[in-house]
Structure 1
Amino acid sequence: MCEENQTEVTEIHLLGFRGLYEYKSLLFIVLLLTYTLILAGNLLIILLVSTMDHLKTPMFIFLKHLSTADVLITTSVVPMMLHIILFEEGTFSLWGCILQLYFFGIFGFVQCFIIAVMSYDRYLAICHPLRYSSLMGPDLCLQLIIGSWSLVIVLLLSEFIFIVQFNFCGLNYIDHFFCDFGPTIKLATSDFISILTMEDFIISIFVLFFPFAFIILTYFCISFTILKTSSANSKRKAFSTCSSHLTTVCLYYGTLITVYMAPSDESSSEINKYRSLLYIVVSPLMNPIIYSLRNHEIKRAVRKVMSHVFTNESKR
Structure 2
Amino acid sequence: MLGLNHTLVSEFILIGFSAFPHLQLMFFLLFLLTYLFTLLGNLLIMATIWSERSLHTPMYLFLCALSISEILYTLAIIPRMLADLLSTHHSIAFVACGNQMFFSFTFGFTHSFLLTIMGYDRYVAIGHPLRYNVLMSPRACACLVAWSWVGGSVMGLVVTMAIFHLTFCGPNEVQHFFCHVPPLLKLACGEDVPVVAKGVGLVCITALLGCFLLILLSYAFIVAAILRISSAEGRHKAFSTCASHLTVVIVHYGFASVIYLKPKGPQSLEGDTLMGITYTVLTPFLSPIIFSLRNKELKVTMKKTLLSKLLPQNS
Q: TM-score, normalised on structure 1?
A: 0.92
The CA RMSD measured in Å over matched residues stands at 2.1
Query: Which residue is 2:244 aligned to?
Result: 244
Local SS of the residue matching 1:12: strand
Aligned residue identity for 2:237: K
Query: Which residue is 1:70 aligned to?
Result: 70
Decide which moves more: 265-274 or 48-57.
Answer: 265-274
Aligned residue identity for 2:60: F
Instruction: Provide the rounded CA distance (Å) in 2 between the counterparts of 1:18 and 1:232.
Output: 55
Structure 1 unmatched runs, 5+: none
Instruction: Provide the rounded CA distance (Å) in 2 between the counterparts of 1:69 and 1:116.
Output: 14
Could you report, residue by residue, the CA deviation over 1:153-204 in whole angstroms, capped at 9, with x for unpaired residues?
A: 1233233333343322121111110010111122222433233223312321
Q: What displacement does 1:43 show? A: 1.2
Could you report, residue by residue, the CA deviation over 1:65-120 in whole angstroms, capped at 9, with x for unpaired residues?
A: 11111111111111111122212551100111111111111111111110000000
Pair 1:274 & 2:274 matched: yes
Instruction: Provide the rounded CA distance (Å) in 2 between the counterparts of 1:255 and 1:165.
Output: 29
Kept after mapping to 1: 8 A contact 2:9/2:94: yes
Kept after mapping to 2: 8 A contact 1:74/1:280: yes
Decide which moves more: 235-244 or 272-281.
Answer: 272-281
Aligned residue identity for 1:200: V
Could you report, residue by residue, the CA deviation over 1:218-274 in whole angstroms, capped at 9, with x for unpaired residues?
A: 101111111122200011111111110100110000001122222122235641321
Kept after mapping to 2: 8 A contact 1:16/1:89: no
Query: Which residue is 1:106 aligned to?
Result: 106
Closer, same or farther: CA 24–237 of 1 in aligned 2, 3 Å:
same
Instruction: Provide the rounded CA distance (Å) in 2 between the counterparts of 1:156 and 1:137.
Output: 29
Instruction: Provide the rounded CA distance (Å) in 2 between the counterparts of 1:202 and 1:20.
Output: 33
Pair 1:116 & 2:126 matched: no
> How many pairs were matched up?
311
Query: Which residue is 1:28 aligned to?
Result: 28
Query: Which residue is 2:167 aligned to?
Result: 167
Query: Which residue is 1:192 aligned to?
Result: 192
Local SS of the residue matching 2:242: helix
Query: Which residue is 2:51 aligned to?
Result: 51
Decide which moves more: 233-242 or 152-161.
Answer: 152-161
Instruction: Provide the rounded CA distance (Å) in 2 between the counterparts of 1:306 and 1:291.
Output: 16
Instruction: Provide the rounded CA distance (Å) in 1 between the counterparts of 2:169 and 2:105.
Output: 24
Instruction: Provide the rounded CA distance (Å) in 2 between the counterparts of 1:305 and 1:222.
Output: 32
Closer, same or farther: CA 15–313 of 1 in aligned 2, 3 Å:
farther
Q: What displacement does 1:49 show? A: 1.8
Instruction: Provide the rounded CA distance (Å) in 1 between the counterparts of 2:270 and 2:196.
Output: 23
Kept after mapping to 2: 8 A contact 1:67/1:284: no
Instruction: Provide the rounded CA distance (Å) in 2 between the counterparts of 1:57 and 1:154.
Output: 28
Query: Which residue is 2:223 aligned to?
Result: 223
Decide which moves more: 242-251 or 69-78.
Answer: 69-78
Query: Which residue is 1:82 aligned to?
Result: 82
Kept after mapping to 2: 8 A contact 1:159/1:196: no
Q: What displacement does 1:313 show? A: 7.4
Local SS of the residue matching 1:76: helix
Query: Which residue is 1:16 aligned to?
Result: 16
Closer, same or farther: CA 289–159 of 1 in aligned 2, 3 Å:
closer
Query: Which residue is 2:303 aligned to?
Result: 303
Query: Which residue is 1:294 aligned to?
Result: 294
Q: TM-score, normalised on structure 2?
A: 0.92
Aligned pairs (5 A) from 1:146-165: 146-165=146-165
Decide which moves more: 127-136 or 7-16.
Answer: 7-16
Aligned residue identity for 1:72: L
Kept after mapping to 2: 8 A contact 1:15/1:89: no
Aligned residue identity for 1:95: V
